[in-house]
Amino acid sequence: MPAAPEAPPAPKPVLAPARPLSPHLQIYRPQLTSVLSITHRATGVALAVGTLLLAWWLIAAATGPEAYAEVQAVLASWIGRLLLIGWTIALFYHLCNGIRHLAWDVGWGFEIARGRLTGWIAIGASLLLTLAIWACVFVRGGAA
């Protein structure tokens, strides 16, 4: 009986040159739009975490006066106020930048100059809205 023919040798793999698979922060310098995009994602996470604080406050209000007073004491402390102010900044930034993203969804604002302008508008509007809300809170004595 004749011997079975041998299989041909497997081809050698072609190796790619040693380079990064995709661009990364060591190659690209951060630009306003990339920083705002990362900040938009971070504020989304901050809003989710801050919603737990809101849930705690609502549960305490439903539980009774003692639990509510305990939560109010925490929120009236300097760390509580700092958390609330940070949550407010995150809320308004996420809102303003979300409106900017909606404009992009309809094809408006892709030009470089307009992208920078709308980015600075989102930052400015979120800071102004935060200042306006907290000015109202302090004028009414709500944060005392």
* Beta carbons within 10 angstroms of residue 67's beta carbon: 15
Where does 1-144 have alpha helices with state H?
Answer: 32-63, 65-76, 78-105, 112-140
Token pair in block for residue 24: 């990364």
Q: Any idea where the domains of the chain sit in the sequence?
A: 39-47+78-140
Per-residue pLDDT tens digits for 72-88: 999 999 999 999 999 99
Per-residue pLDDT tens digits for 18-39: 666 666 667 778 889 989 999 9
CATH architecture of 39-47+78-140: Up-down Bundle (1.20)
> C-alpha 24: how far from its chain's center?
20
C-alpha–C-alpha distance, residues 92 and 100, integer Å: 12
